[in-house]
Amino acid sequence: MPRSSLPVLDALKRWLLLGVMMLLAIFLNIGLSGAGWNFFGSSGRESRLPAGNAITDAKALLRYALPIDNQPVRELQASLEDISTQLRSNRRWSAISSDISKASLILTDRQDQLLASVPEERKAEAETAIADLKAGLADIRAALEAKDKELISQERAKLLDKVGLLEYTMVQKYPFEVPAEYSNLPQLKGRAIVEMVTNKGNLTIVVDGYSAPVTAGNFVDLVQRGFYDGLPFIRAEESYYLQTGDPAGPEQGFIDPSTGKYRAIPLEILVRGDEAPTYGITLEDAGRYLDKPVLPFSAYGALGMARPEFEPNGGSSQFFFFLFEPELTPAGLNLLDGRYAVFGFVIEGKEVLEKLRQGDKIESAKAIEGAENLIQPQVA
C-alpha cells in the first residue's frame, strides 16, 4: 500500500467547536501510515441499550453488549447505572433512593427470573453474585444516608462490576457464525483482557469478540505474537485519537509468516438489533445512516481499527485509541460510528492514555484473561 502525507486536523476541530459537524460534510484524512482516512458527519445489539443520551462509560457499554436475553438483569443494571445521572443532577437523593429500592426489589422478588438464564454449571457462581449484590446494596444505602456523593459513586461502581459478573454467567453459546470467507483469520469467540505496558504506564483493555470477532481475534493474535512490543505511537491528536501498530520497514501491517502476505481485516460492525455483524461496507454506504453500532465511539479509550480511506477491508495491525472529548466529539454525534470498527475499550489507565503522545512506545502487550477464546484458522 502506498504511503502519503498526513493532513492536519485543525479544520475538523474548528467545525466541531462550532457545533456544526453533523450539518456539514467534513473531510478528514488521518492516514494509515500512508493511506488517508476520510470522515464525514453522520448519525448513527439492539434495544437492550437504553434510549436517551449516548452512553459514555466503557464498562456500561461492554455490559450492554453482552449477548444475553434477561429483562430483570437489564432492569437491575439500568437502575444502578441511573444513579450516576442523579448524582450529576444536583444530588437528587430521593431519585437515588428509588434506584436502590428498585434494584433491591429485583434481587429479592425476581431472583428466580435472574437465574432462569444461567446454565446449570454456572448457577452457583450466579447465586454468589446475587448474594454479593444484596450485601452491596446495604453499603450504598449507608453512603446515601450520609449523603456522601463520592462514596455513593464508588459503591455504585462496585455493584455494577458485580452485575457484569452476573450477566456474564448468562452468556451461553456463541451468538452467531462468522462468514466462511473469513475462516482464514483468527477469531475471538468471547472476550479477552489485554494488559498493555507503555513507557508512560499501563493500560487494561477489554477486547470484545462477541461484537467484532474477526477484528478482536486479529488484535489478540498479534498481541500474543508480541507484534506490538516496542512499537511507537505514530499519530496523535490531543482530545481526538492516538494511533499505533505500524511495523518497522515498508509494510503498513502484519505480514502473515504462514502465507507471506498482508493480513487484511474486513470492516466489521455489529448494529443494534442485528443477529450478526455487517462486513465489508460502511453503514453509510449500506444506506443505514441512522443505525447505531453496539460498540460506538462514545467512550474515552475506545479501540478503533485503522484502515485506508477507500478500502473498508484494508485494515491489518494498525489501530487507534479514541480520546473522547465532549467539546470536540459529542457522544452519539461523532464522525466515526459506522465507518470504523470498535473492538474494545480501555477500562483502566485513562490517566496513562491522557499522557501518551506521538513517539511514546508500547513496551509490551499480553492477554491476561480470555486467551483461550482465541480461535486460530484451521490449516487445510
| 41 or 162, greater pLDDT | 162
What is the band of 51 on the pLDDT scale with cuts at 50, 70, 90?
low
What is the band of 9 on the pLDDT scale with cuts at 50, 70, 90?
very low
Angle, CA of 293, 323 and 44, to the nearest 5°: 25
What is the band of 282 on the pLDDT scale with cuts at 50, 70, 90?
very high
Model confidence, pTM: 0.86
| 88 or 193, greater pLDDT | 193
Helices (H), the chain: 10-18, 58-65, 71-88, 93-109, 111-116, 123-145, 149-169, 213-225, 350-353
Bridge-partner residues for 271, per DSSP?
Answer: 293
Q: Among the three residues 150, 169, 188, which one is the final residue of a domain in this structure?
A: 169
Same domain, 345 and 230: yes
Q: Among the three residues 169, 185, 206, which one is the final residue of a domain in this structure?
A: 169
Q: Tell me if 259 is assigned to some domain.
A: yes
| Intra-chain end-to-end CA distance of the chain, in Å | 29
Task: Say yes or no to pLDDT of 318 above 90.
Answer: yes
Number of domains the chain contains: 2
Task: Say yes or no to pLDDT of 53 above 70.
Answer: no
Q: Among the three residues 126, 154, 169, which one is the final residue of a domain in this structure?
A: 169
pLDDT at 240: 85
Q: Are 323 and 242 in contact (CB under 8 A)?
A: yes
Average pLDDT for residues 272-291, to the nearest whole number? 94
Q: Tell me if 56 is assigned to some domain.
A: no
Select from 245, 297, 276, 253 the least CA-distant residue to 67.
Answer: 276
Average pLDDT for residues 246-263, to the nearest whole number? 93
Q: Are 247 and 317 in contact (CB under 8 A)?
A: yes
Which domain does 120 fall in, by range? 68-169
Task: Say yes or no to pLDDT of 270 above 90.
Answer: yes
Same domain, 184 and 138: no
- Structure confidence by residue, pLDDT tens digits, 55-97: 889 999 999 999 999 999 999 999 999 999 999 877 689 999 9
| 329 or 72, greater pLDDT | 72
Q: Tell me if 62 is assigned to some domain.
A: no
Same domain, 270 and 333: yes
Q: Tell me if 57 is assigned to some domain.
A: no
pLDDT at 43: 29
Of the listed ranges 37-41, 185-189, 210-214, the one predicted with least confidence? 37-41
Task: Say yes or no to pLDDT of 309 above 60.
Answer: yes
Rounded distance between C-alpha atoms, residue 265 and residue 212, angstroms: 11
Average pLDDT for residues 250-275, to the nearest whole number? 95
